[in-house]
Amino acid sequence: MSGVGQLNLPHYPEIEGLDDFKGKLMHSARWDWSYPLEGKRIGIIGNGATAAQIIPEVSKVASSLTVFQRTPNWVIPRDDGKISPTTQAALKYIPGLRSRYRALLMDVREGLYNTTIVKGSEGNDAMRAWAQDFMHKQIPGRPDLWEKLTPKYALGCKRVLISDDFYPALGQDHVKLETSPIQRVTEKGVAVEGNEYEFDLLILATGFRTTEFMYPIKVVGTGGRSIEEIWKGGAKAYLGVTIDSLPNFGMLYGPNTNLGHNSIILMIESQSRYINSLIAPVLKAKSQGQSLAIVPRPSRVKAYNEDLQVKLSGLTFADPNCNSWYKTADGLITNNWAGTVVQYQKALSKVNWASDYEASGSGADIVASKDQEYIGRVVEETVVPVLAITTYATVAAALALGWKVASKSPTVQKAIASVF
Helical residues (DSSP H) of 6-142, grouped into ranges: 49-58, 85-93, 97-112, 122-138
Helix 97-112 / helix 85-93 crossing angle, nearest 10 deg: 110
Which residues 6+ apart lie within 8 Å of 48 measured at CB? 73, 158, 159, 161, 205, 207
pTM of the model: 0.84
Q: Does position 12 have pLDDT exceeding 80, yes or no?
A: yes
Tell me whether domains 18-81+91-204 and 222-374 share a fold: yes
Q: Selecting from 3.40.50.300, 3.40.50.2020, 3.40.640.10, 3.50.50.60, what CATH number does the domain 18-81+91-204 have?
A: 3.50.50.60
CATH 2.60.40.650 for domain 222-374: no
- Report how far residue 34's alpha carbon sits from residue 36's, in angstroms, rounded to the nearest whole number: 6
Count other Cβ atoms within 10 Å, centred on residue 322. Answer: 20
pLDDT band at 414 (very low <50, low <70, confident <90, very high): low
Distance from the Cα of residue 9 to its chain's centroid: 17
Instruction: Please list the residues that pair with 350 across neighbouring strands.
Output: 374
Alpha carbon distances (Å) from 48 to 51, 110, 140, 323:
5, 23, 22, 12
Task: Work out whether the CA dihedral 179, 184, 187, 191 comes out positive or negative.
Answer: negative
Structural contact between residues 243 and 230, judged by C-beta atoms closer than 8 angstroms: yes
Summarised one tens digit per residue, pLDDT across range 99-139 is 999 999 999 999 999 999 998 899 999 999 999 999 999 99
Percent of the chain with pLDDT over 90: 80
Residue type, 181: P
Query: In sequence order, which residues have a C-beta less than 8 Å from that of residue 232 and are 6 or more positions away?
Result: none
Q: Measured between alpha carbons, how far is 333 from 317 in angstroms, rounded to an integer? A: 8
**Domain boundaries, given as residue ranges, for the chain:** 18-81+91-204, 222-374
Other Cβ atoms less than 10 A from the Cβ of 382: the count is: 15
User: Is the omega angle on the peptide bond into residue 216 within 30 degrees of 0, that is, cis?
Assistant: yes
Rounded Cα distance between 138 and 183, Å, is 31
The neighbouring-strand residues paired with 251 are: 2
**What confidence tier does 217 reach under pLDDT thresholds 50, 70, 90?**
confident
What are the CA-CA distances from residue 294 to residues 100, 140, 258, 304, 370 (Å)?
40, 59, 25, 18, 13
Q: What is the pLDDT of residues 312-334, one digit of tens each?
A: 999 999 999 988 889 988 889 99
